[in-house]
């Protein structure tokens, strides 16, 4: 087998001398390397086999041989649980040799690899030191899922992948990226099981963002519409009480915004403009927390305002806290240790160094 370094030197010399070079594929050498790699694979030496298969493309220009070498490499990396390298082999197959593989199966495998990383798996950073638990590679969740979604944005796995990415980005503090993934679920997979939770999560995320700065009320308005849409579409959902509470809180936020604008104009001497904002507040949000203060200000600056009747029911701002009775059956309870002032759940016999005999538990003596 000719070494790649030697081939490179021959090419460089030929270019410098101006002599045209035609490289011939050494299929026999590639077949020999494949046989060696297959033997290592059958012996359970998967990492060595994968390294062998990696050298085949340098020995042959035959597309079939190269595609088969990538498939063999992909299988070996999977047996090593080096899923990111398996993903890289899949990407190369889909990019260069799609006619030789089942693209649907490989894309489905990419989604599966993304799920593996999302569940917390991390590859060893160095194969030789794979036994050290904290020497691991970086999280590949976003990279793998993004590549799979780019190839199959409307597949049956896409909605779950978008939801996993949204949670992943949220934990990393990337709120904008998380919201973008939730929007894609509602746009592309409206009837999927994930759409319900995406709608609720997106509405709640926008509500949270409105508290950090929402000058044009864009976040709070969209959040309100999404919560209303959730209540209409899922009236029997267990989360319906949470959505209704958030709607009540959203009214407080919107009313406070209007009151802030009205106060600005009132202090600027433009009472007629302030009156319009206060009237809108009392008309749209009569049960908000700002309503009593707004009504007092409106009565102060307007001679034509007629106070309305108080709302019949004030919506709750916090979820109901449900209480449950202690079950009557003793076997359903967690039995805790007695009042022995011990750090152990069970009695631990102390050892007496002088005699080497056990001392009864609870004696307080021992090492």
The residues, ordered by sequence, that sit 6+ positions from 279 with a Cβ below 8 Å of its Cβ are 298, 305
Supply the pLDDT for residue 159.
Answer: 94
Mean pLDDT rounded to a whole number for the chain = 79
Which residue do the tokens 């904008």 mark?
176
The residues, ordered by sequence, that sit 6+ positions from 122 with a Cβ below 8 Å of its Cβ are 136, 137, 138, 139
Supply the pLDDT for residue 184.
Answer: 95
Q: Is the pLDDT of residue 245 over 70?
A: yes
**Each residue of 160-183: pLDDT tens digit?**
999 999 999 999 889 889 999 999
Supply the pLDDT for residue 348.
Answer: 53
DSSP calls for 226-253: HHHHHHHH-TT-TTHHHHHHHHHHHHHH
**Each residue of 31-52: pLDDT tens digit?**
888 888 899 999 999 999 999 8
Q: How far is Cα 51 from Cα 69, in angstroms, rounded to an integer? A: 11
Q: Report domain extents, the chain.
A: 238-345
Q: Which of 37-51, 106-120, 145-159, 260-274 has the lowest mean pLDDT?
A: 260-274
Q: How much is the average pLDDT of 262-280?
A: 84
Dihedral sign for Cα atoms in the order 113, 125, 46, 151: positive
**Each residue of 285-305: pLDDT tens digit?**
787 788 888 878 877 777 666
The answer to whether the CB of 144 falls within 8 A of the CB of 133 is no
**Each residue of 61-120: pLDDT tens digit?**
888 888 888 999 999 999 999 999 999 999 999 999 999 999 999 999 999 999 999 999
**Each residue of 314-342: pLDDT tens digit?**
555 655 455 566 666 655 555 555 555 65
Query: For residue 145, which of 131, 163, 128 has the smallest C-alpha distance?
Result: 163
């Amino acid at each position: 087998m000719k070494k790649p370094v030697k081939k490179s030197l021959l090419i460089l010399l030929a270019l410098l001398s101006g002599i045209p070079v035609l490289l011939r594929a050494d299929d026999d050498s590639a077949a020999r390397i494949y046989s060696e790699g297959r033997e290592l694979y059958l012996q359970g030496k998967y990492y060595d086999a994968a390294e062998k298969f990696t050298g085949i493309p340098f020995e042959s220009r035959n597309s079939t041989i190269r595609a088969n070498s990538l498939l063999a490499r992909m299988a070996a990396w999977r047996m090593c649980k080096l899923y990111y390298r398996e993903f890289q082999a899949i990407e190369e197959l889909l990019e260069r040799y799609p006619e030789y593989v089942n693209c649907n199966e490989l894309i489905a495998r990419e989604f599966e690899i993304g799920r593996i990383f999302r569940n917390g798996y991390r590859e060893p950073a160095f194969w030789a030191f794979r036994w050290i638990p904290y020497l691991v590679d970086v999280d590949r969740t976003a990279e793998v899922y993004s590549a799979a979604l780019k190839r199959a944005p409307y597949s049956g796995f896409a909605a779950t992948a978008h939801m996993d990415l949204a949670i992943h980005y949220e934990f990393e503090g990337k709120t904008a990226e998380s919201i973008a993934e939730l929007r894609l679920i509602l746009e592309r997979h409206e009837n999927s099981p994930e759409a319900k939770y995406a709608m609720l999560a997106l509405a709640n995320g926008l509500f949270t963002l409105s508290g950090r700065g929402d000058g044009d009320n864009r976040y709070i308005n969209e959040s309100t519409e999404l919560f209303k849409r959730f209540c209409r579409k899922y009236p029997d959902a267990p989360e319906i009480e949470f959505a209704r509470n958030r709607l009540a809180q959203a009214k407080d936020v919107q009313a406070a915004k209007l009151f802030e604008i009205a106060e600005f104009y009132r202090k600027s001497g433009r009472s007629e403009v302030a009156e319009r904002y206060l009237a809108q507040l009392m008309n749209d949000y009569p049960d908000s927390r700002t309503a009593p203060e707004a009504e007092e200000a409106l009565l102060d600056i307007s001679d034509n305002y007629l106070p309305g009747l108080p709302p019949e029911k004030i919506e709750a701002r916090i979820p109901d806290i449900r209480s449950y009775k202690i079950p009557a059956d003793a076997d359903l309870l967690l039995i805790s240790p007695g009042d022995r002032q011990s750090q152990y759940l069970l009695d631990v016999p102390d050892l007496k160094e002088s005699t080497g005999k056990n001392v009864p538990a609870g004696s307080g003596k021992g090492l």
